[in-house]
Chain A
Amino acid sequence: MKRIALASTDGQTMTGEAPDQSPIAIRGMTVSYGQKPVVFSVDATFPEGSMTAIIGPNGAGKSTLLKASLGILRPLSGTVTVFGQPLNSQRHRIAYVPQRASVDWDFPTTVLDVVLMGLSRELGLLRLVRPRHRDKAIECLSRVGMAEFADRQIGQLSGGQQQRVFLARALAQGADLYLLDEPFAGVDAATEKAIIAVLKTLKAEGKTVVSVHHDLSTVSDYFDRVLILNTSKIAEGSVADAFTEANLQAAYGGRLATAQVAGIPVAG
């Protein structure tokens, strides 16, 4: 009984078809706050080794889709598989970088401590932090150019530095799938460059990156795929196929002046 219940709640279709093996596959995701659906019946697949921007106007449900896919929010309906398996069995392969503003940066902790949180699976409840854990955390900090800030209190960092610490924590997890919620929001140009360099390295290593993204002008430079969202899915695919003026108009409508679209290096 239990097995059947688990299988049906965790997203494997009961029709017998082989489950999608991609790093993350979302089927029929609908999420609502109160009466109003914020995400409506979205299907999306993120292939291995791809780097996808989730774009759409404010309130389009981009972060909500990410959170619901990760079980942070409870969807009304919809299923998620991660590498073809139920989410709960694959959590060790996922690194999630929340919006910077979602946490209290006045929390009494240091930069190094935050990065060590990425190792909590390894550390468990009571295992002591050893020099090798510390070294690993410092190495992840170096990858984002923050090693010399290891002992700082996190509240003393700039927004961009905080974002880099979050990325270092994700690196420490050693995941195969990286999901980022607006990593470039309110960060300086140097940070943006550092973050995108790290993400591109991850992609080169065959990791899968999915990022909620706001700045349409950088989409084609940074990403190879897009998921365009406005409550429902507008388009999904390679930047060349899906990041078109028509799709952007469909998603943003009047909120995006034609002049703005003209300035964006869209496909076609």
Chain B
Amino acid sequence: MSGAEFVPLSLTPILIGVFAAIACALPGNFLVLRRQALIGDAISHVVLPGIVVAFLITGTVSTWPMMIGAAAAALLAVLLIEAIRRLGGIEPGAAMGVVFTTMFAGGVLLLERSDTSTVHLDVEHALMGNLESLIWLDAFGWGSLLDPEALAGLPPELFRMGLSMIGVIAFVWLFWRPLKISTFDEGFAQVMGMRTNLIGMSLVAVSALAAVAAFDAVGSIIVIAMFICPPAAARLMTNRLAAQVGWSVIFATLSAVLGYVLAGYGPLWLGAEDSVSAAGMIATVSGIVLGLAAVFGPARGGTQG
């Protein structure tokens, strides 16, 4: 594959996929260890109606309205869960499940009934994103990386996702110790004077940021996969948290790159005509990586290992 073909068509989608995967995998490590892995799943579901409503109000798919819409939807979800739990006396797990799926379904219906033909926002994109379309039309080869004119034509999603990833990295780096201690032993952390509720809520907020930014680029399928699969696979590779986080970044990157390439070229290699969904393939690869780690990972079986 030549640079003339690779740089405009594949470089930016792969980078966006990698950024999205890393941004979700990093907080995913702590969510998985806190037995809150499905929070990522939940967030990616509840934010959909918020994003759609934000679009209906502003008429554009831009970052801030989407973030505000998503945050409002998340808040509404929390209130609804509490209301159902208290009024109906229903156990929290069931209350959450009902709220998440109902809000996502509501978002899908809303999306279907609104005119979003001018933007990349429809049911298919909500599920699978539009990674393949985030191409760099102004590029003509590797040389474009040094060409200011071509660089100006980079898809805005690249910067949005890149910034989100940097924000997530900064959060995990800065609050590494509180995150680690409060995840391992919340009572101890509280007595030390740590604001464990605040730490937990910040983790969820950062996860939401990653989910919303990634959702826009890659849809909700890989958001869910990236929160859980790379960290879970990484846990099976090591018994050290720092090493686990390192492995999760490697697995996230591997899944994004390999998934994108396999989706684009795999079917051709097998003699088929069309490529398949990149997001779907990335999620599949991350699942396969987890499967391999479960069979061959050196730290599998935890305490018996």
Contact of B191 among A96, A103, A104, A126 (CB under 8 A): A96
A107 and B191 contacting across the interface, CB-CB below 8 Å = no
Residues in A neighbouring B185, C-beta threshold 8 A: 98, 102-103, 117
- Does residue A186 face the partner (Cβ distance < 8 Å to B)? no
Of the listed residues A71, A102, A123, A155, the one surrounded by the most CB atoms of chain B closer than 10 A to its CB is: A155
Q: How far is the CA of A153 from the CA of B241 in the complex (A)?
A: 11
Q: How far is the CA of A131 from the CA of B76 in the complex (A)?
A: 49
CB proximity to B under 8 Å, residues A75-111 = 88, 91-92, 94, 96, 98, 102-110
- Does residue B235 face the partner (Cβ distance < 8 Å to A)? yes
CB distance from A256 to the nearest CB of B (A): 29
A125 and B175 contacting across the interface, CB-CB below 8 Å = yes
A67 and B241 contacting across the interface, CB-CB below 8 Å = no
Tell whether A108 pairs with B244 under 8 Å between CB atoms, given A72-B190, A103-B185: yes
CB proximity to B under 8 Å, residues A176-232 = 179
CB proximity to A under 8 Å, residues B290-305 = 299, 302-303, 305
Q: Would you call the interface of chain B mostly helix, strand, loop, or mixed? A: helix
Residues in A neighbouring B33, C-beta threshold 8 A: 104, 107-108
CB proximity to B under 8 Å, residues A115-153 = 117, 120-121, 123-126, 153
Contact of A121 among B174, B176, B192 (CB under 8 A): B192
Residues in A neighbouring B299, C-beta threshold 8 A: 108
Q: How far is the CA of A72 from the CA of B184 in the complex (A)?
A: 15
Number of A positions contacting B (CB below 8 A): 32
A67 and B193 contacting across the interface, CB-CB below 8 Å = no
- Does residue B239 face the partner (Cβ distance < 8 Å to A)? yes
A107 and B184 contacting across the interface, CB-CB below 8 Å = yes
Q: How far is the CA of A110 from the CA of B244 in the complex (A)?
A: 13
CB distance from A177 to the nearest CB of B (A): 11
Interface residues on B, range: 20 to 34
Residues in A neighbouring B192, C-beta threshold 8 A: 91, 120-121
- Does residue B238 face the partner (Cβ distance < 8 Å to A)? yes
Q: Which residue of B lies closest to A102 (CB)?
A: B187
Contact of A67 among B187, B235, B243 (CB under 8 A): B187
Q: How far is the CA of A149 from the CA of B156 in the complex (A)?
A: 51
Residues in B neighbouring A169, C-beta threshold 8 A: 188
- Does residue A70 face the partner (Cβ distance < 8 Å to B)? yes
Contact of A91 among B177, B193, B305 (CB under 8 A): B193
Residues in A neighbouring B244, C-beta threshold 8 A: 108
Q: How far is the CA of A120 from the CA of B185 in the complex (A)?
A: 13
B177 and A70 contacting across the interface, CB-CB below 8 Å = no
Residues in A neighbouring B302, C-beta threshold 8 A: 106, 155
Tell whether A117 pairs with B193 under 8 Å between CB atoms, given A125-B177, A125-B178, A156-B303: no
Contact of B303 among A67, A92, A124, A155 (CB under 8 A): A155
- Does residue B113 face the partner (Cβ distance < 8 Å to A)? no
Q: How far is the CA of A104 from the CA of B178 in the complex (A)?
A: 17
Q: How far is the CA of A106 from the CA of B193 in the complex (A)?
A: 25
Q: How far is the CA of A110 from the CA of B239 in the complex (A)?
A: 8
B239 and A153 contacting across the interface, CB-CB below 8 Å = yes
B235 and A108 contacting across the interface, CB-CB below 8 Å = yes
Q: How far is the CA of A153 from the CA of B235 in the complex (A)?
A: 13
Residues in A neighbouring B188, C-beta threshold 8 A: 96, 98, 117, 169
Q: Which residue of A lies closest to B175 (CB)?
A: A125
B241 and A109 contacting across the interface, CB-CB below 8 Å = yes
CB distance from B37 to the nearest CB of A (A): 14
- Does residue B181 face the partner (Cβ distance < 8 Å to A)? yes
B175 and A72 contacting across the interface, CB-CB below 8 Å = no
CB distance from A174 to the nearest CB of B (A): 13
B241 and A108 contacting across the interface, CB-CB below 8 Å = yes
Known: A91-B192, A108-B299. 17 other contacts (CB 8 A): A91-B191, A94-B191, A98-B185, A103-B184, A107-B33, A107-B183, A107-B184, A108-B235, A108-B238, A108-B240, A108-B241, A108-B244, A114-B184, A117-B185, A120-B177, A125-B175, A155-B239
15 A-B pairs with CB atoms under 8 Å apart are A71-B190, A72-B190, A91-B192, A91-B193, A98-B187, A104-B33, A106-B302, A108-B241, A109-B241, A110-B239, A117-B181, A120-B177, A124-B177, A125-B178, A155-B303
Instruction: Mark A residues whose CB is within 8 Å of B.
Output: 67, 70-72, 88, 91-92, 94, 96, 98, 102-110, 114, 117, 120-121, 123-126, 153, 155-156, 169, 179
Instruction: Mark B residues whose CB is within 8 Å of A.
Output: 33, 174-178, 180-181, 183-185, 187-188, 190-193, 235, 238-241, 243-244, 299, 302-303, 305
